[in-house]
Amino acid sequence: MFSESIKKDIKLITDLLSSIDVSLQMMANKHNRRTTAFVNRKTIATRLGVPTVAIDKLIFQGISSKGASGLIEGKHYCKLDPQENNSSKFLYDPYEILQSAWSNFKYE
């Protein structure tokens, strides 16, 4: 029982540190807009406040729209292995994804 509690606490701390890391990377590079770190799907989903399956849907939307919308390979994410189709093994660019998310908001 004690070890389960520790595992949950460590997982919570790891997720929190990952989110802080993304924030610090984006703040440090806000002027030159250069990506200095890639993150995993879970971190992006956490930053956007959506489940990880939503990231999969955005990838599918990018493929089906031929890059007109959704997440686009080469801009928002990259594959380490061209044959890999498991999106949990892709690397995501937090700067590009969050910039695209903010640009989709409409102000009235």
Report if pTM > 0.95: no
How many of the other CB atoms lie within 10 Å of CB of 41? 20
Predicted pLDDT at 81: 87
Give residue 36's pLDDT. 65
Residue 31 lies in a domain: yes
- The answer to whether position 67 is within a domain reads yes
Write the pLDDT tens digit of every residue in 75-104.
Answer: 899 988 889 899 988 989 888 888 888 777
| Rounded alpha-carbon distances, angstroms, from residue 24 to 19, 37, 39, 91, 106 | 9, 10, 13, 18, 26
Residue 37 counted as domain residue: yes
DSSP 3-state helix, strand, coil percentages of the chain (rounded to 5)? 55, 5, 40
Question: CA-to-CA distance for 39 and 5, rounded, in angstroms?
Answer: 26
Total domains present in the chain: 1
The tens digit of pLDDT for each residue in 15-74 reads 777 767 666 666 666 666 666 678 889 888 888 888 999 999 999 998 998 888 889 988
Would you say residue 46 lies in a domain?
Answer: yes
pLDDT of amino acid 103: 74
Domain boundaries, position 64: 2-103
pLDDT recorded at residue 23: 66
- Is residue 108 in a domain? no
The enclosing domain of 64 has a CATH number of 1.10.1660.60
